[in-house]
Amino acid sequence: MSYGSRIGTEDETAQGRKLRFQSDDMSSRGATPAPSIGTSMGSEVRQMVHSVALPPSSTFWAQMKEGIMETFFADDPFRQFRGYKGKQRWFVGLMYIFPILDWLPKYDKRMLKGDLIAGLTTASLAIPQDLGYAKLANMDPIHGLYASFVPPLIYALLGSSRDITIGPVAVISIIMGQLLKNEIDPHEDRAGYLRLAFTATFFAGVVQASLGILRLGFLVDFLSHAAIVGFMSGAAVTIALQQLKGLLGITKFTTSSDIVSVMRSVWTHTGEWNWPTIGLGFFFLILLVATRRFSQMRKRFFWCSAVAPLGCVIVSTLFVFVTRLDRKGIKVIGYIEKGVNPASFSDIYWTGPLVARGFKVGVVSGLVALTEAVAIGRTFAALKAYHIDGNKEMIAIGTMNIAGSWTSCYVATGSFSRSAVNYQSGCFTAMSNVVMAIAVLFTLLFLTPLFHYTPECVLAAIIMNAVVGLVDLRAMYLVWKTDKIDFLVLAGALFGVMFVSIEIGLLVAVIISFSKILIHVTRPHTALLGNIPGTSMYHDIKQYPLASNEPGIVIVRIDAAIYFSNSNYVRERILRYVNDAEDELAVNGGIPLQFVILEMAPVMSIDTAAIHAFEELNTNLQARGIQLTISNTVGKVITTFKDGGFVDLLGQEWFFLSVSEGVQVCSILIKRKQQAMKENYADKV
């Protein structure tokens, strides 16, 4: 293909505008070619390579609109409205807001049977867990049941996941328990503590729903997978060790959550150990662990581990009631009032200093709850090959927690253990959440007094057995093998939670995660490329040791966008490659370095600082007699180069469509220069 006469010339074809080589001498355009290299490029050389195309021009507002759509609406949520008009569009809009309207008209007996079995099986696991998790949050056991009644009903209307099961979870319970306790002592001011818990739940819901409404769900992704694994594992260890209080029957126990304080409290209060409590608690703990292990080995008996906690509660309650072991030091839950959730809207702090404290606790617990729920939802959606809308999930979870704060609930989210049981039980839709909520309602109305003699040590055993699964050793090993910096994030969260506090562990994980992002942004990866023998492909010589360097040419690939934060580093890194090549030539000899080719396919965008850095790089190389060339630029980058004047400065003939074409041209020019030097030498002789 031949090259046209001028850069920036409008091409009326569908290919858009193209950068073309100019046929006249570069010096007539004010370009600054390297000595005796650029001026030797003849028309026959120009015809050997393809032109570099500019994308169609667009206005500032069009670019702004495209950027906003890609940032906030990357999933194209409006696609389902296409092809509908009038009332149909309104109904599609309602289906988008209330996913239940999508699947409910298709509901049949087969689905009802699956959801009924799954909901009842999940309820058998949820009810005993709810009683224990509420204790982790320093709340009365009844509040755990409340949180498994109203929030699941709201989620069934608004949620897009078919498998996730809603209710209190161990990690959120311990977060709220620790953070709320730092503000109000639950023993000295019980009413104030509950009011602050409802306030925190309200703000957690507001934050969650706002992220979904404003399409800011991508902010949750800043809490990396490694941070979540470390945080969950650390919290699980902390929660498990705190259950020693109930398993050993200790009355006076530390209020701190770190391992050192917990173990010190265990060993300094050996006089309070109650042996009937220890015997009963560890008996049921062993039974629960054995049942869980059996269910893991025999998949078709998965329901055994699901119903085991409720079975343990029933058996232990009857045993204590018959033997009256509560008179021998075994602590029991005590009386639980019957009835549905009382309204708590008026209990929320709307004014005063406690509003800010509730907001702080709500933000932390809300973000962690949101991250956990979305991760669980996506996990099970992948298993069944369907899609969940992350932003819709945030709105659903936020709305249910706002409603929960008005009905005496604390923060609820998706539970992995219950969702796994729900999935394995054969659920089809979110109706399983409704079935579970109805079972909890029945418990609230008629069965709560029966839990009076339920031993606290058995609840501690249930919690300890449940949180053991949160310690994911396989994921830790995989992170260690894959990315050492990610493992540092994991370790920071893990040890921060275990040895300091939950909030410090979370803070450490976030700080290290952001540090990793900053490192990647400010120190992007670059690579020295070589030719794969027998091909026209060029790859990293470290990855492909057989790849060979091109004589007189250094080829560098830049693997990230270039901005003000990394432009100077990129320039210096390229110059280091040049210096290394010249040092090697000084030792081993060979054709002098004459060209630097930058492979910029991975560079998605640049800014003015990057252009300035390239100008300085070009000046430095020109002073050494080295010509800078650029290959494989994406449309946005070449447009920025042109608008910034760098194309005119460098010369449009030094922009190539591919590395191989750049090498082809540069190699010909090097050979011509060598031939000219030989001829000059022969003439002199």
Say what the pLDDT of residue 157 is. 94
Say what the pLDDT of residue 683 is. 66
pLDDT band of 398, cuts 50, 70, 90: very high
The pLDDT of 16-40, averaged and rounded, is 39
List the chain domain ranges. Answer: 18-57+523-684, 108-518
680 backbone dihedrals φ, ψ, rounded to 5°:
-60, -40
| Terminal-residue alpha carbon distance, the chain | 41
Say what the pLDDT of residue 46 is. 57
Residue type, 152: P
**Positive or negative CA dihedral for 401, 407, 410, 416?**
negative
Among the listed residues 234, 235, 255, the one whose alpha carbon sits nearest the alpha carbon of residue 245 = 255
**Which CATH number describes the domain made up of 18-57+523-684?**
3.30.750.24
Mean pLDDT of the chain: 86
CA 555 to chain centre: 35
Say what the pLDDT of residue 7 is. 36
pLDDT band of 420, cuts 50, 70, 90: confident
Residue 540, beta-bridge partner list: 529
Residue-wise pLDDT for 662-672, tens only, equals: 999 999 998 88
Secondary structure, 3-state, 327-373: HHCCCECCCCCCCCCCCCHHHCCCCCHHHHHHHHHHHHHHHHHHHHH
Residue-wise pLDDT for 437-475, tens only, equals: 999 999 999 999 999 999 999 999 999 998 888 888 999
Residue-wise pLDDT for 601-657, tens only, equals: 999 999 999 999 999 999 999 999 999 999 999 888 999 999 999 999 998 889 999
Q: Which helix (H) or strand (E) holds 630?
A: strand 627-631
Residue-wise pLDDT for 227-277, tens only, equals: 888 988 998 898 899 899 999 988 888 877 789 998 999 999 888 899 999
6 backbone dihedrals φ, ψ, rounded to 5°:
-155, 140
Token readout for 535 is 């091909």
Residues with Cβ < 8 Å from 180, sequence gap 6 or more? 137, 138, 186, 193, 196, 197, 200, 361
631 backbone dihedrals φ, ψ, rounded to 5°:
-130, 155
**pTM listed for this prediction:** 0.78
* pLDDT exceeds 60 at position 155: yes
